[in-house]
Amino acid sequence: MFDFLDSYPWLLPIIIFVGRIFDVTLGTLRIIFVSKGERYKAPIVGFFEVFIWVVIISQIFSNTNSIVAYLAYAAGYAAGNYVGILVENKIAFGFQLLRVYTKKEGLELIQILNKKNIGATVLKGEGAMSQVNIIEIVINRKSLEEVVNIATSFDPDAFYLVEDIRYKQKGIFSLGKWDNKRLTSLLKK
């Protein structure tokens, strides 16, 4: 398959290194798809991951005396982990639950979020020192930074948690405007 390597043996470590980057990056994505329950994407990505791995490992076994090939394999694995994390962060696949704890009026934050077409739920809670408002927001992972900025601009002292969501059903992700009479009456309570 790689007969040209007999003429250009210096290409072998490069091919192994690049192949491992692709293979490990795909492995990272496959694991994410499996953890998110993406039963159609995970096997497709897994097919290409293993195909690349088999091609690369066959070249390692064909050149068992090459320490440079071994080093390229290990370096490609390490670089593949790094690239996999970068790719995963870039595609930001899935949904997250952002839970904001604030001493301020939670309905005001909901109103701010609603203006940006972001749905949220407010709950009243009792913290260690005082009452708190708990605002739960289900968002696309790509929206996390924007929504955290909105929440921390609303209350710089807010405490928040972010959780990955494996599955979701229904919900309100894009809202119309609140009924102003209802919102005004809730804010007065």
Tokens 């982990």 belong to residue: 81
User: What pLDDT was estimated at residue 25?
Assistant: 94
Tell me which residue of 13, 52, 58 sits closest to 29, measured CA to CA.
52
The hierarchical CATH code for the domain 95-188 is: 3.30.70.120
Domain ranges of the chain: 3-91, 95-188
What is the phi/psi pair of residue 98, to 5°?
-105, 120
pTM, full prediction: 0.64
Look at residue 176 in the predicted model and tell me its pLDDT: 43
Tens digit of each residue's pLDDT, the chain (189 residues): 666 566 666 778 888 899 999 999 999 999 988 887 888 999 999 999 999 999 888 887 877 777 888 899 999 999 999 999 999 888 877 888 999 999 998 889 998 988 888 888 899 988 788 899 999 999 888 888 999 999 999 999 999 999 988 776 666 544 444 455 555 555 555
Tokens of 172: 């309100």
d(CA 154, CA 161): 16
